[in-house]
Amino acid sequence: MLLTLAGAVAAAPAWERQVGMKSMADSARIIGDMFSGRRAYSQTNFRAAAESIRAHAGTRLVDDFGSGSQADSKADAEMISTSAVEFSRLARDLEIYASALSSAADRNPSELGAETRMGGALFGSPFGRKPDAARDAASMPAEHTYHLMLQTCTSCHAKFRSP
């Protein structure tokens, strides 16, 4: 019989989390390739990639990394535990950005239209403020959302993954 501690969510094994992360990297690459034109736009594939990232993000990501360190893991379990609020905010931002990209696919059946493009305003907030996923994700061009999503991956790795 499997016993779990009351209130504690069992963390996923390290290999499973790493497979999940690799799958997010593949999905992010598909989306990036469609923005850059290396890959032809497909509403179905763009949406599927965004949905896959969304499904790995948020609460699921937080639960997967819960409770303690594991062998073969590069996750900094101690940092995740002491900065749990920041970790879950990054996981949630990832979910919000991925969800906004999925909605962008819904609005763009056959091509990534002009309103999805950044028009040269690379990085930084288009609003001249610190990015806030919950506030901005729905109103910014999808390409910008994509870059902020990648920054979210990088920010989390910088703090919570050992090199």
137 binds ligand HEC (CB under 6 A): no
Are 71 and 30 in contact by the 8 Å Cβ rule? The answer is no
Is residue 25 close enough to count as binding ligand HEC by CB under 6 A?
Answer: yes
Tell me the closest approach of the beta carbon of residue 102 to ligand HEC, in angstroms. 13
Q: Does 21 bind ligand HEC (CB under 6 A)?
A: yes
Contact 133, 92 (CB under 8 A): yes
Rounded to 5°, the CA angle 127-25-30 comes to 80
Phi, psi of 45 (to 5 degrees): -75, -35
> Rule CB under 6 A: is residue 17 a binding residue for ligand HEC?
yes
Does position 91 interact with ligand HEC (CB under 6 A)? The reply is yes
- Tokens standing for residue 1: 């019989």
Residue ranges that bind ligand HEC, judged by CB under 6 A: 14, 17-18, 21-22, 24-25, 28, 53, 61, 65, 73-75, 87, 90-91, 94, 149, 152-153, 156-157, 160-161
